[in-house]
Amino acid sequence: MLEFMEGSHAVAEIVKRCRPQVIAAYPITPQTHIVEDLAQMVANCELDAEYITVESEFSALSACLGASAAGSRVYSATTSQGLALMFEVCFNVAGMRQPIVMTIANRSLGAPLSIWNDQQDSISLRDSGWLQFYAEDNQEAVDLHMIAYKVCEDHDILLPAFVCFDGFILSHTYEPVALPGQEEVDAYLPAFTPYQRLDAEKPLSFGMYATPEYYTEFRYETDRALYRAKESFIKAGREFGEQFGRDYSALVEGYRLEDADTALVAMGSICGTAKDAIDEMRDAGKKVGLLKIRTYRPFPGPEIADALSGVSTVAVLDKNISLGGGGAVGTEVKAALYGSGAAVYDYIIALGGRDVRKRDVAAVVDLAEKGKGDMFYGLRTEVL
């Protein structure tokens, strides 16, 4: 049954139903509504969890790490500067293989400070070892939280995950969402069984350091676990589809790609606008499609290459910029398509809340088809 609600509220509701035992989060726009809702649920005895009102994001994730290592299912949420402040802890959590799920209400990163949306924050943590899933709409955001816990806690995986949804654009938008009920969630997501935990009955030392004899192998093991997460995601997504009727068994998803000459590649909410734009372009006779990346980490390189095999021009919409190095997704898509023969162009777009309209998507397609790309799209040259 669909319900009409704010994206943040929908996320909070599903998180509640995933039954985290410890929540530690620090407020930051536009993530706040989620953690405020959770705080209220705990205060109302609707959610039986410890809610730690930490003094910073650094402590938020550190507390999550401790709680996870001690054997609890944990949850956090952040964005932008908050995620940036967690950077060191994020690498640590992944290396320590703690299955923490954290919502990222994507927002740009300063300077200049901006509370508005792009995906710089999570993308700039792409090396950290966290799984990264991007939602196109609030329904997907809700569903990905359940899948994320399932994948992360899989004893073959044991990794943390970001569930990314675009700040404001999704988090502050009211739209219809189907919220699985508690029993349904319980049926899908079993209670947390830690693989190993801090326990006086069975002492273990966690987070030892690794000499050159061992370090490479630990990193390799973590990297392998990320790649194994592909299978785990597909399985969890298929099971999700079987139970809830919404299938997430694909790491990437094509839209009207079958006979497309030109493909857009994008992540998150911009995919919705792109789809509408594509419908219009299709109506105008243009063979255009979209490839949506759902799992940015592990990066689905072969899956992208496969999905785009028939396409001659690829335009990547990058809501981030690796300063002095181009858009991150564009770069990785090029590497994935290396040797394919398709022309690939990268567009830095929608930074810091710059709105994207259907006509902007069409303009990007035009540019790509004209062979112009690897550029910022939509600059207000009048202020430069």
Partner 1 sequence: MTAAELIAFAAFEGGAYAQAFPAFGVERRGAPVQAFVRFSDAKIRLRSQVYEPDYIIVQDPTLIGDVDVFMGMKAGGIAIVNTEKPDFEASVPEGVKVYAIDATTIALEELGVPITNTTLMGAFAAATGEIQLEPLEHALRNRFSGSMADKNVRAAERAYNLIGGAV
Partner 2 sequence: MAEVEQGCELFSAGHRACGGCGPALAARLLLKATGKNVIIASATGCMEVFSTPYPETAWGVPWIHSLFENVAAVASGIEASLKRQGRSEKVVCIGGDGATFDIGVLCISGAFERGHDITYICYDNEAYMNTGIQRSGATPYGASTTTSPPGACAPGGNPLPKKDMPAILAAHGAPYVATASIAYPNDFVQKVERAINTPGPCYIQVHTPCCTGWGFESGETLAMAKLAIDTGLWVNYEMVDGKVVKAKKVRRKPVEEYLAKQKRFRHLFKPARRDDVIANIQAIADANAERFGIDIKRKESSE
Partner 3 sequence: MALRVGCAAPPGRALDNKTGAWRVFKPVFDPETCSRCGMCAMVCPEGCVHETEEGTFEPDLDYCKGCGICEEVCPKKSIRMEKEEK
Ligand X SMILES: Cc1ncc(C[n+]2csc(CCOP(=O)(O)OP(=O)(O)O)c2C)c(N)n1
Binding site for partner 1 (CB under 8 A): 2, 4, 6, 30, 115-117, 136-137, 166, 168-169, 172-176, 211, 269-273, 275-276, 353, 355-358
Strand order in the sheet with 288-293: 252-255, 288-293, 262-266, 313-318, 343-348, 375-376
The tokens for 30 are 């536009």
Integer distance in angstroms from the first to the last C-alpha of the chain? 49
- Interface residue with ligand X among 76, 81, 262, 295 (CB under 6 A) is 81
Q: How many CA atoms lie within 13 A of 286 on its CB side?
A: 20
The CB-of-129 to partner 3 minimum distance in angstroms stands at: 11
| Residue 97 contact among partner 3, partner 1, partner 2, none, beta carbon within 5 to 8 Å by kind | partner 3
223 in contact with partner 3 (CB under 8 A): no
Nearer to partner 1, 68 or 78 (CB): 78
Nearer to partner 2, 106 or 139 (CB): 106
The CB-of-297 to ligand X minimum distance in angstroms stands at: 23
Q: Which stretch binds a copy of itself (CB under 8 A): 7-15, 41-49, 244-252, 322-330?
A: 322-330
The CB-of-267 to a copy of itself minimum distance in angstroms stands at: 14
| Residue 173 three-state SS | coil
Determine the Cα–Cα distance for residues 226 and 251; give it in Å rounded to an integer. 13
Determine the Cα–Cα distance for residues 356 and 30; give it in Å rounded to an integer. 19
Residues 99-128 that bind partner 3 (CB under 8 A): 111-112
The tokens for 311 are 């396409």
12 in contact with partner 2 (CB under 8 A): no
The CB-of-196 to partner 1 minimum distance in angstroms stands at: 26
Q: Which residues pair with 133 in a beta bridge?
A: 163, 295
The CB-of-342 to a copy of itself minimum distance in angstroms stands at: 9
Determine the Cα–Cα distance for residues 248 and 240; give it in Å rounded to an integer. 7
Determine the Cα–Cα distance for residues 327 and 265; give it in Å rounded to an integer. 12
208 in contact with partner 2 (CB under 8 A): yes
